[in-house]
Structure 1
Amino acid sequence: MPLAAEILPVAPEDYLRHEAESPIKHEYLDGRIVAMAGAGERHNRIALNAAFRFRLASRGTRCGVFISDMKLRIEAANAFYYPDVMLVCETDTHPQYKSSPCIVVEVLSPSTAAIDRREKWLAYRTLPSLHAYLLVDSEQRAVEYWLREAGGPWRPGTLEEDEVLTLSCPPLSIAVSLDDFYEDVAGLEAG
């Protein structure tokens, strides 16, 4: 009987070197490299709306908004992910990745929802800088969130129609609504 080939873990430095030259994006999960799927129009519009809202709020500050081409390094999980949107307001100068976002947004699709809700959430919540994690559905008007006050416990919630949610990312305070995420996204029912 033939033996199965052993897959050796890849070092983070080798992953970063490979990723800098690769025409497709890969996430890094504790030594394993995983190719990423593409995204559709709704997904892109929602992510762009979130990034636009955060960029408007952060203009003229030291904060930066990054979209899905910037990696997020999570040392506690030995992982690199590509969040759909992240807002960083701390000094975080690495040119290939960021490690201290205060807000992370993932746009849910049927193929990624379980990973975003479990694997990524478990990893993201280890980041001391993170104040808000938002999951924005691409199939219906629904936003789930987890908020944390400085050093406190995580509080889950759901953004309702006509509700305004205030996200804290010192020095910023950003008000968002469902309409902010779903502007120009047609054909969605309320969640």
Structure 2
Amino acid sequence: MTAVAIKMYTQEEYLELERAAEYKSEYYRGEIFAMSGASRYHNRITENLSIEIGTFLKGKSCQSFSRDMRVHIPENTLYTYPDLLIVCGKPEFQDNEFDTLLNPSVIIEVLSPSTEGYDQGKKFHLYRSLRTLAEYVLIDSQEARAEVYRKGSDGIWALASEASDIEGSIEIGHIGLMLEMSDIYAQTEDLK
């Protein structure tokens, strides 16, 4: 048996390829990983979050970006596309292309069966290298379940808010927003 060599890329090569690509890919430590498409529920939940959060932030000093805003974490080389993110204050970008954000305050991931373990584990670990990140929100796309993790003043992350049914709510404390689960999961009535 012979091992297959994995092609390694520099961050500059990744960005050049990514900016010309018709599909999105993540980058980590020299490897490029194609991102798969999202399900109907994943997309509906992301749109619902975008509407609720975007409306709440209108006229405030924070703004939200949806899944096409790339985030880079220089400390560990990750380039990724969160489902939704919030930046408070002036956005900081990697370069003059203004397509790679460096300072998100809140990151929201909608969990899919294929990404759930990664989003809850390794990706959360990598996100914690972002000095500006204050909260990490996980929304399940298969059932009404959500968790908000918050970084304390001591730098320790802890579960700050959770809901596990459609009657509940979660709080994104960094921006002072209480989100009703019924709004997050609107138009997903046949979700189990």
Name the CA shift for 1:51/1:149 in 2 (closer, same or farther; >3 Å): farther
Distance in 1 (alpha carbons) for counterparts of 2:138 and 2:172: 14
Residue 175 of structure 1: aligned partner: 178
User: C-alpha displacement at 1:164, in angstroms?
Assistant: 3.7
- Equivalent residue of 1:107, what SS? strand
Amino acid at match of 1:121: F
Percent identity at matched positions?
Answer: 30
Kindly indicate whether residue 143 of structure 2 is the aligned counterpart of residue 140 of structure 1.
yes
In 1, Cα distance between equivalents of 2:191 and 2:8: 42
Answer whether contact 1:46 1:107 (CA < 8 A) is retained.
yes
CA deviation map 1:23-43 (0-9, x unaligned): 011000111000000011100
Return the alpha-carbon distance in structure 2 between the equivalents of residues 132 and 43 of structure 1.
20
Shift of 1:181: 1.2
**1:148 Cα deviation from its structure 2 partner:** 2.1
Does residue 166 (structure 1) correspond to residue 171 (structure 2)? The answer is: yes
Change in 2 beyond 3 A, CA 1:149/1:56: farther
Supply the AA of the counterpart residue of 1:13.
Answer: E
Match of 2:104 in 1: 101
TM-score (norm 2): 0.88
Question: How many residue pairs get matched?
Answer: 186
User: Do the aligned residues in 1 keep the contact of 2:148 with 2:170 (CA within 8 Å)?
Assistant: no
Structure 1, unaligned runs of 5 or more: none
Q: What secondary structure, in the 3-state scheme, does the structure 2 residue paired with 1:188 have?
A: coil
Q: What TM-score results when the alignment is normalised by the length of structure 1?
A: 0.88
Q: CA deviation at 1:110?
A: 0.8
Tell me whether 1:25 sits opposite 2:24 in the alignment: yes
